[in-house]
Structure 1
Amino acid sequence: MFTLDPQLEHDTLPIGDFPLCRLLLINDAQYPWFVLVPRREDVSEVFQLSEADRQALWNETTFLAEALKDTFAADKINVAALGNVVSQLHMHVIARRRSDVAWPAPVWGKYPPKPYEAAQVDTIKDKLRMVLASSFTFIEAGA
């Protein structure tokens, strides 16, 4: 049974599910920063996934990255799977803009997070609904 790491649960807002991954939004309104978490037990490394799941992870990451680039008018998309703090396999997909507070440095730990307001999350979901709807199930608030 899939369980989300407590740190990821604390730092993110649930957006929805792709066929393999749960899509989360890092609760920091300074950046459109998303995390994909394969819904598989006890996986900390990409190579621990089956070949089909590895391909699905890459396909979902690529699909999300392209959607974010267009939706958020990103200058650059950052994709990373680090796992030094949270060992559960998760893929960061961040839409960066030259105007963001941390540009060109990494977003990790440089500035304190600014939590989203509910209306901002609804706006993000509405934007993503248009581009992800065919292969995605949204998680509604309170679910």
Structure 2
Amino acid sequence: MVADGLFVYGSLREGGSNHAWLMRTHPEGLTRAWVAGRLFHLSAGYPALVPEPDPAEPPPGPGWVRGDFVGYEDEGDLDSALADLDPLEGVEEGLFTREIRPVVLEGGHRYRAWAYVFHVERLPRLEKEAIELPDGDWAPYL
């Protein structure tokens, strides 16, 4: 499966504590985007996206998580960026899983992007222990 870029929705976004880490991967650009899912704020100080099927209505709105689509020159640059970001996101430790998700850009264009997500099996625990953000935007915590 091939992705067109990366979707970031938490501390890697502009204004986030790890945005500089993202910028050192030399992206070509960032644009506002949405991924279908539910967003939670964890007590550890970062968000968790649980993917879901696309809502009936286009973004923004319920069932969409706001973030940025990050583009790279080519697949090699994207792979290099992911190799740099995976340790930060705790992929090897199982904190997040990286998977390709459909992403909708601000202008309505659709692409496929890697996103760091929590698996749906963790949803019951998130519903008990985390704060769900119904508007799908982690910006107030940046």
Band of TM-score, shorter chain: 0.3 to 0.5
Structure number with higher strand proportion: 2
More RCO (CA 8 Å, sep 6+): 2
Scaled by the length of structure 1, the TM-score of the pair is: 0.38
Scaled by the length of structure 2, the TM-score of the pair is: 0.38
Structure number with higher helix proportion: 1
